[in-house]
Amino acid sequence: MKYVIVIPHYNHHRTLRAVAQGCLAQGLPVAVFDDGSTPSPEKQLEGLPVFLKRFEKNRGKGAVILDAARWAAQEGYTHLITVDADGQHNPQDIGRLLQASRRAPHALIIGKRRFSKEVPFASRFGRKFGGFWIHLQTGQAISDIQSGFRCYPVEILQDLSFWTRRYTFEVEVVARACWAGFGVVETDVSVAYPKDRVSHFSVWRDNLRLTVLNTYLTFRALLPIPHRQYRVEQTSAPAVKLSFWQMLVQNLKQPGNVTRNAFSAAWGIFCGSIALPGIRQVFLFWGSGWWNLNKILSIGFEKFCIGPFVPALCIEVGFFMRHGQWLTEFNLTTLGRQFLQRVVEWVLGSLVVAPVLAACTFGVVWVIGLMLHRSVCGRS
């Protein structure tokens, strides 16, 4: 593996030289990609052995990182480490990113900043808020998706397609790396927020962009359409794009997916059985995203619970719970005039039927999945 440090730069003239010097001290090549600063940063970098590429117009941090990835691939680098030019990152922590990257060569490595009480409230809140959304979108608990201190495998930036090109790019790339199977790993790093630190974050404009992006990513995450997957090994061998059939076989080969698929089916049955029309769909999609379930299975099994069988079963159980006997008369009185009573029994009965059916579904799908797993692995 071959690493290069990339410093995306935009009007951080006061801190750029110190950041570049700190990065050079780590023994890796350093490249500065200037995103239309005024004036050009040649003076700040004078005498330093760094590669400088400058754009005349500001295009956004995401565009800079993607361009840096294309350059890195041409130069034979496999990974690029991004360090913000504002001085908040300690270049000595680059070693932590390198260690994590060598253990997981295909994963996106994020430097998780150790926040203290001196860190601005907006940064602390933004980190928790972003962590909630990425968990919903990918099912993975990632605590610092806004950190710009990262180690990117060049293949992630080249193989995947991205919608955004500015500040929000760093959020989008995390979601897409998780979806594609590359994975995300966090490692603790220090952070400093000088009082005179220059920030280009626009409260209104960038928060609006984040809102639009999170809306898009959330809806995409909830769609029962498989994400493009890659097979990655714990070696430096390139990741391989999988066909639909290869994705299916890989799903069956992984032991953890047997339980995941069974839980997915059980969650669909549970949400379909519980007597909360309209609201249960919200729970279905929320749980599918939060636990990173197989949405095709969850939504498919939820459809099995569409009336009349499951609602009727819930009413029967609810009636028995209230009266100690089964409902055997179905006429205008029991189904018409006593409609509200049947609704109460439907809700009450579903509290028993939903978990029982879900447990049974989990067991059946788990056994079938285990048999398929052994069959597929036996032919490999």
Does residue 314 sit within a domain?
yes
Where would I find the beta strands (DSSP E) of the chain?
Answer: 3-9, 30-35, 51-55, 79-82, 108-113, 150-153, 184-189, 230-231, 240-241
Handedness of CA 284, 290, 296, 297 (dihedral sign): negative
Domain count across the chain = 2
Q: Mapping DSSP to helix (H, G, I), strand (E, B) and coil, where does residue 18 land?
A: helix
**For the purposes of burial, counting CB atoms within 10 Å of the CB of 5, is it exposed (0-12), middle (13-18) or buried (19 or more)?**
buried
Does residue 83 sit within a domain?
yes
Does residue 214 sit within a domain?
yes
CATH number of the domain bearing residue 71: 3.90.550.10
Residue 352: per-residue pLDDT: 95
Q: Which residue has the higher pLDDT, 234 or 109?
A: 109
Residue 199: per-residue pLDDT: 65
With a CB cutoff of 8 Å and minimum separation 6, the contacts of 367 are none
**Domain span holding position 97:** 3-231
Same domain assignment for residues 345 and 368: yes
Q: Which two tokens stand for residue 135?
A: 């968990």
Does residue 238 sit within a domain?
no
Same domain assignment for residues 296 and 166: no
pLDDT in tens, 258-286: 999 999 999 999 999 998 877 888 899 89
Same domain assignment for residues 322 and 201: no
Over the chain, what is the mean pLDDT?
89
- Residue 123 in this model has a pLDDT that exceeds 80: no
Residue 262: per-residue pLDDT: 94
- Residue 251 in this model has a pLDDT that exceeds 90: no
Same domain assignment for residues 53 and 99: yes
Instruction: List the end-to-end C-alpha distance of the chain, in Å, as a whole number.
Output: 30
pLDDT in tens, 127-164: 888 899 999 999 999 989 989 999 999 999 999 999 99
Sheet containing 30-35: give its strands across: 51-55, 30-35, 3-9, 79-82, 150-153, 108-113, 184-189
Same domain assignment for residues 215 and 105: yes
Does residue 347 sit within a domain?
yes
Q: Which two tokens stand for residue 241?
A: 């794009």
pLDDT in tens, 30-69: 999 999 998 889 999 999 999 999 998 999 999 999 999 9
DSSP labels, 120-136: -HHHHHHHHHHHHHHHH
Q: Which of 210, 231, 252 is the last residue of a domain?
A: 231
Same domain assignment for residues 334 and 223: no
Does residue 144 sit within a domain?
yes
Same domain assignment for residues 44 and 154: yes
Q: What is the DSSP letter of 150?
A: E
Does residue 299 sit within a domain?
yes
**For the purposes of burial, counting CB atoms within 10 Å of the CB of 325, is it exposed (0-12), middle (13-18) or buried (19 or more)?**
exposed
Q: Which two tokens stand for residue 322?
A: 């209230």
Q: What is the pTM of this model?
A: 0.82
Q: Which residue has the higher pLDDT, 375 or 54?
A: 54
Are 171 and 146 in contact by the 8 Å Cβ rule? The answer is: yes
Same domain assignment for residues 110 and 173: yes
Residue environment code for 181-200, b if the CB has 16+ CB neighbours within 10 A, otherwise e:
bbebbbbebebebeeeeeee
Same domain assignment for residues 28 and 68: yes
Same domain assignment for residues 50 and 16: yes
Residue 380: per-residue pLDDT: 57
Q: Which of 200, 231, 262 is the last residue of a domain?
A: 231
Same domain assignment for residues 131 and 221: yes
Q: Which of 231, 261, 281 is the last residue of a domain?
A: 231
Does residue 236 sit within a domain?
no
Same domain assignment for residues 34 and 181: yes
